[in-house]
Amino acid sequence: MTRHFLLDTDLSPAEQAEVLALASELKKEPYSRSTFAGSGAGRQTVAVIFDKTSTRTRVSFATGIADLGGAPLIFGAGDSQLGHKESIADTAKVLERMVAGIVWRTYAQAGLEEMAANSSVPVINALSDDYHPCQLLADLLTIQEHKGTLAGLTMTYLGDAANNMANSYLLAGVTAGMHVRVAGPEGYLPDAAVIAAANTRAAETGGSVLITTDAAAACAGADVLATDTWVSMGQEDEKAARLELFKDYALDDDALKQAAPDAIVLHCLPAYRGYEISASAIDGPQSVVWDEAENRLHAQKALLVWLVEQSAKEAAPVAQ
């Protein structure tokens, strides 16, 4: 069975831990794996498609695929037939004949599902409107590095609690056995289906879920504080209203005062100082955002290696 990574719960708790352990290994020994090295090792090219802009995701996948001996083929939806002249399914059926994997940043989660349903090579969500699971692998790696553990820690996300990052913090956090608190204004909280999935995962791992409109209560004693832009890609027209809507949910000095004294600060970037995060928080001593950005590279390399190897294992005939 081909393994895809379309949302955080596509990895079981044990699988997520395996990927994070491999990421730590690859951070120490960056060139120790040659998953895409060609000449006998299999396919070399990985397609990386962007329907939205990107700095970190683009550079980390390009670098990571090259580190693994592969060739990243990066293109925008506008440079190909995808989405206007050709369906997602037909695109998948062509790409699967040539490449080792498909990494895609797009809008609708349903598009990623259609790509995966028609692809015999792994499909990776490089951000959709609903989830940003690669970012969360990097975030968890960063937390593990700074705190020594994940299970049992309290992680609070503040701000636009209905966006892709909020959903991924919830699902990936509870998969790691964390206590995840998400705070945002009424009407901008996670969907019931995401909360239900997070609660199901939390019941397996000993994690927990708290959804609230009370920012101070969400921050109280937290080990990790995280936020994200209040204006996600595609929402630019709503900017003025959104800046007003989320103003009581900033990750600032007040939030830091509520949290544990040794709390760390995460932001997936790009960040807008003075809106969702204060300069004092993102540029202060508790911030680990540059480690977090670097960890996109290590986490995604581990994910690529793991998905390719696991897909091959699951396709192999069961020994008699």
Q: Which residues are near ligand CP by CB under 6 A?
A: 54-57, 127, 135, 268-269
Is there binding between residue 229 and ligand NVA (CB under 6 A)? yes
> Is-catalytic flag, 268?
yes
- For the question of residue 97 being annotated catalytic, the response is no
Only segment of 116-124, 146-154, 162-170, 283-291 that touches ligand NVA (CB under 6 A)? 162-170
> Pick from 287, 255, 16, 270: which is nearest to 134 by CA?
16
Q: Which among 44, 296, 298, 310 is annotated as catalytic? A: 296
| DSSP per-residue string spanning 144-206 | HHHHS--TT-EEEEES-TTSHHHHHHHHHHHHTT-EEEEE--TT-S--HHHHHHHHHHHHHHT
135 is catalytic: yes
Contacting ligand NVA within 68-107 (CB under 6 A): none
Whether 228 is catalytic: yes
Contacts with ligand NVA: how many residues (CB under 6 A)?
10
Among residues 58, 137, 43, 149, the alpha carbon closest in space to that of 104 is found at 58
By CB under 6 A, name the one of 65, 115, 268, 307 that touches ligand NVA: 268
User: In which residue are the tokens 């940043």 written?
Assistant: 105
**Residue 144: active-site member:** no
Using CB atoms within 10 Å of the CB of residue 64, give its burial: 0 to 12 exposed, 13 to 18 middle, 19+ buried.
buried
Q: Is 181 a catalytic residue?
A: no
Q: Does 228 bind ligand NVA (CB under 6 A)?
A: yes
Q: Is 134 annotated as a binding residue?
A: yes
Please list the alpha-helical segments (H only) found in 206-238: 215-219
Q: Interface with ligand NVA includes 233 (CB under 6 A)?
A: yes
Closest among 64, 70, 134 to 105, alpha carbons compared: 134
Residue 9 known to bind ligand: no
In the annotated binding site for L-ornithine, the residues are 164, 228, 232-233
Q: Which residues are catalytic?
A: 105, 132, 135, 228, 268, 296
